Structure 1
Amino acid sequence: MTAGGEFERIARYFAPLAAGFTGALGLTDDAALLDPGPGRELVVSTDAQVADVHFFGGADPALIAAKILRSSVSDLAAMGAEPLAYTLATFWTDAVDSAWLARFSSGLAREQAALGINLAGGDTVRTAGPLSFSVTVFGSVPKGQAIRRAGAQVGDLVAVTGTIGDAWLGYRLLSDPALINAWGLSEWDAADLTERYWRPSPRCDTLARLRGEASAAVDISDGLIADLGHIAQTSGVEIVLDAAAIPLSSAARRPVAGFSLADLVTGGDDYEIALTISPQKAAMLDEAARASGVPITIVGRCTAGAGVRMRDRAGNSLPIGQAGFRHF
């Protein structure tokens, strides 16, 4: 079942996604107009998403839409930005037909509504494969209030939103469904873990409440250890994590063979936020968590030194192995 030519696809499947954003100009011009408003500045991030690298290429197109958009918006959350719009470059294979596009665009529509963001433009081309996307997200923050990676100081507390490792477990279950029984999971737990993989929750509201309070932040895409390493490097500190403090879901706490805490903190795809904050402002974490409905847990501290290490209750460093996902 054919899906039509380039402009027919845009008009049918993607122009409706831009209807809520006037600067998109109905996707009829060569570019969009973005106005963050007086006293605000734009926050911009681009993510490439490749089938069977960033998502399962044979999955429900609506789930693929959720994965690529939600994970991209998470970059805005890390800087305390409020979503504004996004552009989408699509690299279609011949396997994409009208039914696939209809499911994909309806998935995007649902996710847009949940995230408070609209399509502003993009491009569409054919490729021999694999199916790929490039998403550029635009957000805004009050001028000078973006939370960066480089602001952590010695003595700052380290905290994370939500729970860590669920998306990695979901990925493993999607790769090998037999692990549901091997790990002793209920069907409910298994569904929750795979949902965490497909539909991460960008913490935009939580981090917006910490602008001017958090000293640094990063979204956890490649693994907690790897992404905290970015803060450690750019801020010139060492980050020491307390293994017992890392927040885990009930499924991740199951004492079964097959995975360890090291797997959970290096597995990636959490799209939670890791942040640093001075001890004097620690009460702001509870306030932001209560107001946004997202738990925030203190998991460590910044010290003099370099890199990231994890320690047990006795203070002994624990082995981590490879810090997280790497493309190269």
Structure 2
Amino acid sequence: MMSDLEKYKLKYAFAEDYGTSYYKFGPVGETPDIIENRGIILDKISIVSKIMGIEKNIIVGPEVATYIGHREAIGRHLVYPMRDGLVEKENERSWRVIYEITKYGLNKHRPIASDFKGFYVAAALSAIAPEYMYRRIFEIHQKIDEETGLVKAVTIIPQPLAVAIAEKSITCIVVESGHGNTQITPISRYPIREAILSLNRGGAEADAITAEILKDCGYGDLAREEKLIRCIKESIGLIPTDLQTSIEKAKKDPERFRAVFHIPNTTITIDLEENSWMRFLIGEIVFDPENEIFESFYRKGMPRPRDTMVGDTRIPGTIDMARAIIMSAERTSFEVQMYLYRKIILSGGNFSWK
């Protein structure tokens, strides 16, 4: 029989997942809310905003879109605090956005029940998040509780461990891929930190190749808006089992693989026509940016994923995913490796296409 405290914890458990592109939150056991992990920082509050009752200069949640009136505003005011899974210690602009996003999520689910004395929060951070990020997230929740009374206690765990728990797997490899990086984390009851492999690539590379494809197909004017590129990527991108075979099939039967995307709420339609075979490049670059087909894009100026140093070992930024997973697993004990390979879990926004 559960004690009153256990019943309370179960009733008011609250989960938070700080992803590179999205922030997921909500009471445990319910479908989570999802907002983009970003915010607008305004230089000053306009008269119109004051008339509408808006007094704060940091905007988060769905409202953000209404503040992006022109492309120049994106670069000046829009902040993605966790693009690489990390936030620099002194980057106060990013920490202010994270504070507002966290407060937004907790406030949205504020209970009206008389027995509510604060949520028991479980938050998930990147596997490579340093200790100071954990401390800062604790401080943010403490401040929110002082202001609102919404937080009773906080626990922070690495995202791969949260994924493993959700999948009910105590021994596995979690490949967590967000916008700016990909972490390969072997888990045997807890993440094996010495074997974690972080690659400097993620959804950004798929976005970059999508932008290059748009330019090559005559849609260069659309290749500057990040969110639009992401929508196109997720709608037309395909992951090939074998790139060369897939390209050959698409060229022989272009209508079957034709990539057409209508931009919602506009009159603009993107049609790759005979170049629709290029949609396979979007999926391929996620798993094998070393494929020779990408060399021409790198030569044209598309950024090549940066190498990573793990101890004294240099990990090529373009290493294919299979080799990277093997390299990570081989840093664990021989006995546990056979169990790790039995379950490899793909997680994160970069693996969550439509």
TM-score range, shorter chain: under 0.3
TM-score (norm 2): 0.25
TM-score (norm 1): 0.26
Looking at CA atoms only, which structure, 1 or 2, has the larger radius of gyration? 2
**1 or 2, which has the higher helix percentage?**
2
Indicate the structure whose relative CO is greater, using CA pairs within 8 Å and at least 6 residues apart: 1
